[in-house]
Amino acid sequence: MKQGLQGSLFSALLLLLAGLAAAAPAAPEHDPWADPEFRRQFLGTYGVLGEVEPRLSPEERATLEKIIPLMSGDLAKAAEQLAAGITPQSSGLLDFTLGNIYFQLDRLEESERNYRKALEKFPNFLRAQKNLGLVCVRRGEMAGAVRAFTRMIELGGGDSLSYGLLGQAHSALEDFLSAESAYRQALLLQPDSLEWKLGLARCLFRQQKFAEAASLCGELVEKNPERTDFWQLQASAFLGMKEPPRRPRTSRCSSAWEGPAPRC
């Protein structure tokens, strides 16, 4: 199930790690890099929070202007040109942008390295903390993900995906109480998320909070009766409570409890 969760979140991770737009293109033929408004947002010409965002000098802004046309087609060349313009004294925003490009190229080690360089230059860089957490999850570095997301929250950040992945990271480290708290925060912001509800149910089960786990699983199986793993987790919770499983409401789920208990 962990692999399924990571797969279902990959597209969302990719969009957030790019850090270049608030949403996907409206149509396949739309090129955001040709939009002057989008370019202004990307270059940080307004709305920058000085306490959590590094600034760009006019020269650094010009460097980004030169690579923008490449970012919609030739990412490898964009990375090469941007890397050539980065120095130990340059803005951490350049390292951050290079990290985003490397992530899109699936060069995750280099992506992580550049996020860390950005944070060395500007420790309170909120977006770099967030994206570092995302790439750590992608690489399976759960302890690093916990540190990055926690620091991001301390800086005033936090959204449903970040809290949910923080819960996943804590759960992978078998810190189920912290995972429960993170999943609950994620559900406050995204109450209909199936992934976060399942993650919370598994954490409750692992803490032997069987009644809460069974109740949450009841909601899951009612809305998704085809998911046998939900039925199995609920059945395991009832066994933990020493109660018989409830009769399924639909015949297509009548065999949902057969087989071994789920791996939580």
Contact partners, residue 103, CB within 8 Å, separation at least 6:
14, 17, 18, 111, 131, 135, 138
CATH of 2-157, one of 1.10.3720.10, 1.25.40.10, 1.25.40.20, 1.20.120.330: 1.25.40.10
At 64 the pLDDT is 87
Extended strands (E) in the chain: none
Given a contact cutoff of 8 angstroms between Cβ atoms, the answer to whether 237 and 218 are in contact is no
The pLDDT tens digits of the residues spanning 117-149 come to 999 999 999 999 999 999 999 999 999 999 999
**Percent of all residues in the chain with a pLDDT value above 90, rounded to a whole number:** 58
The pLDDT tens digits of the residues spanning 162-201 come to 999 999 999 999 999 999 999 999 999 999 999 999 999 9
Identify the residue whose tokens are 């929250």: 153
**pLDDT range class, residue 9, cuts 50, 70, 90:** very low
Residue 58 has pLDDT above 80, yes or no: yes
Given a contact cutoff of 8 angstroms between Cβ atoms, the answer to whether 86 and 94 are in contact is yes
Residue 22 has pLDDT above 50, yes or no: no
Enumerate the domain spans of the chain: 2-157
**pLDDT range class, residue 52, cuts 50, 70, 90:** confident
Cα 37 from chain centroid (whole Å):
26
**pLDDT range class, residue 83, cuts 50, 70, 90:** very high
